[in-house]
């Protein structure tokens, strides 16, 4: 447990984020939450297609580390 935590603060791109998600999901016990995170991760992986199909420009300055931190801290915040 915790390999994903050590990544926080150093996630620079989508590939890093997807690796974080893989490690993060491995620590999630709730099946419903894990399914949601798997869907979110799959969408992040394929998001180029979404933007292309919608005729929109892909965002250029995504803060992948912030998104990972948001997801992680949401899982532990009381």
In the predicted model, what is the mean pLDDT of the chain? 93
Comparing C-alpha atoms, which of 48, 63, 66 is closest to residue 8?
Answer: 66
For residues 19 and 54, give the distance between their C-alpha atoms in angstroms, rounded to a whole number: 27
Q: Which residues span the domain enclosing 27?
A: 5-76
> How many domains would you assign to the chain?
1
pLDDT in tens, 11-45: 999 999 999 999 999 999 999 999 999 999 999 99
Give the model's pLDDT for residue 1: 59
């Amino acid at each position: 447990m915790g390999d994903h935590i050590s990544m926080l603060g150093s996630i620079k791109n989508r590939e890093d984020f997807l690796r974080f998600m893989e490690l993060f999901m491995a620590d999630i016990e709730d099946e419903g939450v894990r399914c949601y995170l798997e869907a979110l991760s799959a969408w992040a992986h394929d998001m180029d297609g979404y933007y292309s199909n919608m005729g929109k420009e892909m965002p250029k300055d995504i803060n992948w580390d912030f998104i990972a931190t948001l997801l992680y801290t949401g899982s532990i915040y009381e």
